[in-house]
Chain A
Amino acid sequence: MLTDNPARKTSVSPVSTAVTFDQVVKRYGDHTVLDHLDFEVRQGERVTLIGPSGSGKTTILRLLMTLERVTEGVIQVNGQPFSGLPEKQLRRARRHIGMVFQQFNLFPNMKVLDNITEAPVQVLGLSRDEAAERARDLLDLVGLADKADVHPTRLSGGQQQRVAIARALAMRPDILLLDEVTSALDPELVQGVLDVLRDIAQATDITMLCVTHEMGFARDISDRVLMFDGGRVIESGPPERMFSEPEHERTRDFLGAVL
């Protein structure tokens, strides 16, 4: 049900870039997080961002989700300029992008089903029934079909994160941003979440940008791995090569520490 989505296929031209960062700078006061960053992500590509903490990986996702504004440079999404838009157009452009957060951020005042139907009803204008049907399909996909009428606070972290994934997918985004989605989970709950994401990566053509410390997962789903350090991409390549024979010394050190 995720793949046969005609709306998504027509709105997107076949071979083009999903995301372009062009000389993007992000500073907080004197501190430069991203330093004239250039990179592209093709449509349907799965890209994993790795690197030491503080290297700007999460900032990239937050810029794409418009939770932060660029200091300099241009971000394009689906070939359209994305940074510096007025709030109204920004809200429209944002619909193409979904995000899953480290802390899940489910709405505790709504049941699981309502968490998922909220945006499709309020933003896409779906009827309650349509949205509920979509939500139930997605809950099925993430293995939580029986939790529709439960409040999120009653779920484990892993279950909450799977609901958060379903909630993001309910908007049928072209691009899914995954920000350390397993970092806040107890170790025994990590696998369930990663399995769900693997299934989604296999069953859909959604573009994924993923910040993670789960190198096994990165190897499984990524088409390309970008190594960040000091606000720049210092090395990139397919996961097989990046993990087995990294060229850059910083990459070797980093992988040596986490693998």
Chain B
Amino acid sequence: MKATKVEEKIFLTIMICSTVFVLSCLILILATVIWRGLPALNLSMLLQTPKGGFYLGKEGGILNAIMGSLFLAGGATALAMAISLPIALFLHFYAKRSWHGGVVRLALDVLWGIPSIVYGAFAFILMLWLGLRASLLGGIIALTFLELPIMTRGMDEAINMVHPLLKESSYSLGATRLETALKIVVRQAIPGLLTSSLLAFGRGIGDAASVLFTAGFTDHLPTSLFKPAASLPLAIFFQLSTPFPAVQNRAYASALILTGIVLGLSIMSRRIAGRLTEHVIR
């Protein structure tokens, strides 16, 4: 065999090995969650809030945490979208050739790497300053900070993928940058924009540290922006840290629910994207 052929074989083997490694990690995690969580999963888990002694293995469910997490991550994602899209459009249309754009992108990349507990602490200071207690709103603010960098960078990339000639077409019809950005580029980039939002939602709903101080925890359903809200990651954490195996299994069931929510949303957003992208130029 020629040396180049051998080389190709070696690299192919490495690529296959790493893919298998990553996939098996994922499968092992899912298998553990399903293995330990599925037997503990039942309707009352999904439909009830914790009753007295829930954390000792008595009856109740985690509806408080499910609703809390959906509100927290949903609110934060909506807020982050409202901030990210203008930043991404600004970066692309107005700051492309200037040094500002580079600085903003660098800042976002650095922010991306900051541990979520730091966001929690930062949001907590902000809340103290605003006179806010641990609450749904506080959690939403903390998660918005957490989601912003990943969402903005994702949207930035999605917008950069739009073919320059498509923009030129719009400009040549006498459209302004704003009209081109909103009517053409956003439309064309919708699949990428949705994916970025979903990634950010996934990061937000799965994070425990940033909501620990800011949203707090409660056994009740979230009814007000100014009252504490429960969340699935914290529910998992509290249940796992009890000494009772039955409660620990419920933690895995909670993890299964969390995974199910993210999976369900991914499938749903793909469907929506499919409908919205009928006209997208490929």
Same assembly: no
Q: Which residues of A contact B (CB under 8 A)?
A: none
